[in-house]
Structure 1
Amino acid sequence: MKVLIIIPAYNEEASIANVIQAIRTKAPEVDIVVINDGSKDNTAAVAKATKQAHVITLPLNVGIGGAMQTGYMYAKKHDYDVAVQMDADGQHDPAYLHELLDALSKGEADCMIGSRFIQKTAYRSSISRRTGILFFTWLLKLATKERFTDPTSGFRAANRKVIDVFANYYPDDYPEVETIVLLQRLGYKVKETSVLMHSRETGASSITPLKSIYYMIKVSLAVFMTLLRTVGRTNG
């Protein structure tokens, strides 16, 4: 398969080179594109200096949704079979890339999500983050009738059909949960596989307890709107 790794990055100059090198070491056959999402630091320059990744710089910070849609548009334009999202902070271990890719190559799923919680691992999250994950697991069970153990995971792989969907539309804010509902409602198979994730190499998460509450309310409304939109599409 022709595989593209999409790395959305905002102010990740301290970790981006290590992430690119780790991917190159574990999966030398893949291509890498870094979507520099209007960073105010040297993220783009550091990524380019590795000479191991294509770098697209957005003039403004458009958020994870806009950055990812840019990556999927690039994947579609360059005819990739699979696109894999990986974070720029070093949390996603490229040693598990083939776990995601194998399921797609066998036709077991259209989108594979790397889950931290299918099996017990050394990964530890904050109480507020874990509460949010459990809430979204419950919400998705109601919306899709399926159980997803790690619905906020950004470590995921998509096949050609899903690349086409996301190149045309991708949720613009906190998109991980909403995209699961979107794909499931459009008839695509979304599955999980167990992966080990690491703590951030640098910096700190921007999700505070207060933001977690806002996050849960906003995503819940987005999921409801996605259900309404996809019902209209399927009925039409």
Structure 2
Amino acid sequence: MYEDKTVAVVVPAYNEEAFVGGVIDTVPDFVDRVYAVDDCSTDDTWAEITARADDDRERVGALVDGAGEVDVADDADGRQVESDGGVANGPRVVPIRHRRNRGVGAAIKTGYCAARDDGMDVTAVMAGDGQMDPAMLERVVEPVVDGRADYAKGDRLSYPEYRGEMSGWRSFGNWLLTYLTKVASGYWGVVDPQNGYTAISLRALEAVDVEDVYDDYGFANALLVRLNVAGMRVADVAMPAVYGDEESHIRYATFVPKLSALLAHNFLWRLKTKYLVRDCHPLAFLYGLGAVGTGAGLVAALRRGGDSEGASDDGNDGTSDAATRTLVGLLTLALATIFDRLDDEDLHVREEP
């Protein structure tokens, strides 16, 4: 426990036989439960996970076929093993295995649901590839334990000394996704939103429909959108970037465009749900009006530029009208952004180094 709060750690892993065992071994002692989730690896990841299960318990794994559907495996003697229903009496390491590969987000969701069902006060995520320094876990969970935030996440970008190991291409991709996630989520103060070193409160897990969040890389970005609609406070925790011998499964050339489309969809979902369905707020109207105005102005400019007739009979080539429409549209979008920032300015805190 940490300051009288139960703490769990989800360890999602896919083909991480060389690292996942070490990650589980180095989880700090204050953690009450470790949900190690093998996303149907093709190597010995599952063997490494089950080998770390508590020696005083039968080493049992749950095969998860889909959200909320759990088959409890037989133990070595063929007996059905059921949950003991309590953190104090239960195993510290809980091995869970997906029947099919579903993505890192799905693995985290499986761990989140297990922690929520067990009533864990705070649930953190430590990737199975060893990139996350276990010594930083205390700093990540502390804002959630203290009640300053419902969700805490790492921030490698705000301080130059902390992003020193990050390549130029990776840094560019992270900054681009940071801006896009700010717009999509409404957390305009958040930096490095795709950072996977996170901690979430039981309150947030119960308020957000976790099972409906995106399954693959980009889960952390999409989750922020859901947290914003639920009114949850988010904390940025400064930490250095750490890269070891592991090989990243992310390919930024395809990941960035794919996640950008996902964030655009989530942005529209947030506006609809937060400002139209749950409330009647002018912000959604301003965003719509700004987008229409800007688009209409740009289309008018393109059409005028392709008009072979040149100027119209009254001497006006239409350029000024197109420019005016575009400018008014952009100003309306800027106004909508200001209202968006003001509406959520109390939902972000920053934990300095």
TM over 0.5: yes
- CA deviation digits over 1:79-101, x for unaligned, max 9? 10011011111111111111122
CA distance in 2, matches of 1:166, 1:7: 20
CA distance in 1, matches of 2:232, 2:195: 18
What secondary structure, in the 3-state scheme, does the structure 2 residue paired with 1:33 have? strand
Q: Please say if residues 140 and 147 of structure 1, whose CA atoms lie closer than 8 Å, have aligned partners that are also in contact.
A: no
Q: What's the CA shift for 1:192?
A: 0.5
**Aligned CA distance change for structure 1 residues 40 and 80 (closer, same or farther; 3 Å):** same
Q: What's the CA shift for 1:182?
A: 1.6
Instruction: Report the equivalent of 2:11.
Output: 7
Q: Aligned ranges for residues 1-236 of structure 1 at < 5 Å?
A: 1-23=5-27, 26-52=28-54, 53-119=93-159, 120-121=161-162, 123-143=164-184, 144=186, 146-164=188-206, 165-173=208-216, 174-231=218-275, 234-235=278-279
Gaps of 5+ in 1: none
Q: Please say if residues 178 and 223 of structure 1, whose CA atoms lie closer than 8 Å, have aligned partners that are also in contact.
A: no
Q: Please say if residues 156 and 192 of structure 2, whose CA atoms lie closer than 8 Å, have aligned partners that are also in contact.
A: yes
What secondary structure, in the 3-state scheme, does the structure 2 residue paired with 1:151 have? coil
**Aligned CA distance change for structure 1 residues 122 and 179 (closer, same or farther; 3 Å):** closer
- CA deviation digits over 1:150-175, x for unaligned, max 9? 11101110001112225443222321
Q: Please say if residues 38 and 46 of structure 2, whose CA atoms lie closer than 8 Å, have aligned partners that are also in contact.
A: yes
What secondary structure, in the 3-state scheme, does the structure 2 residue paired with 1:180 have? helix
**Aligned CA distance change for structure 1 residues 81 and 60 (closer, same or farther; 3 Å):** same
CA distance in 1, matches of 2:211, 2:259: 24
Q: What's the CA shift for 1:183?
A: 0.6
**Aligned CA distance change for structure 1 residues 33 and 39 (closer, same or farther; 3 Å):** same
Amino acid in the other structure paired with 2:239: V
Q: Please say if residues 151 and 199 of structure 2, whose CA atoms lie closer than 8 Å, have aligned partners that are also in contact.
A: yes
Deviates more, 1:130-139 or 1:53-62: 130-139
CA distance in 1, matches of 2:268, 2:244: 31
What secondary structure, in the 3-state scheme, does the structure 1 residue paired with 2:265 have? helix
Q: Please say if residues 165 and 241 of structure 2, whose CA atoms lie closer than 8 Å, have aligned partners that are also in contact.
A: no
Q: Please say if residues 148 and 192 of structure 1, whose CA atoms lie closer than 8 Å, have aligned partners that are also in contact.
A: yes
Deviates more, 1:153-162 or 1:201-210: 201-210
CA distance in 2, matches of 1:169, 1:161: 17
Gaps of 5+ in 2: 55-92, 281-353
What secondary structure, in the 3-state scheme, does the structure 1 residue paired with 2:266 have? helix
Amino acid in the other structure paired with 2:203: K
Task: Give the TM-score normalised by structure 1.
Answer: 0.89
Q: Please say if residues 115 and 153 of structure 1, whose CA atoms lie closer than 8 Å, have aligned partners that are also in contact.
A: yes
**Aligned CA distance change for structure 1 residues 210 and 15 (closer, same or farther; 3 Å):** same
- CA deviation digits over 1:2-46, x for unaligned, max 9? 1110011111111001111121xx334432111111111111111
Which structure has more RCO (C-alpha within 8 Å, separation ≥ 6)?
1
Root mean square deviation of aligned Cα: 2.2
Q: Please say if residues 187 and 228 of structure 2, whose CA atoms lie closer than 8 Å, have aligned partners that are also in contact.
A: no
CA distance in 1, matches of 2:18, 2:269: 37
Q: What's the CA shift for 1:65?
A: 2.2
**Aligned CA distance change for structure 1 residues 109 and 58 (closer, same or farther; 3 Å):** same
CA distance in 2, matches of 1:231, 1:186: 12
Give the fraction of aligned pairs with identical amino acids, expressed as a percent.
25
What secondary structure, in the 3-state scheme, does the structure 2 residue paired with 1:235 have? coil
What secondary structure, in the 3-state scheme, does the structure 2 residue paired with 1:51 have? coil
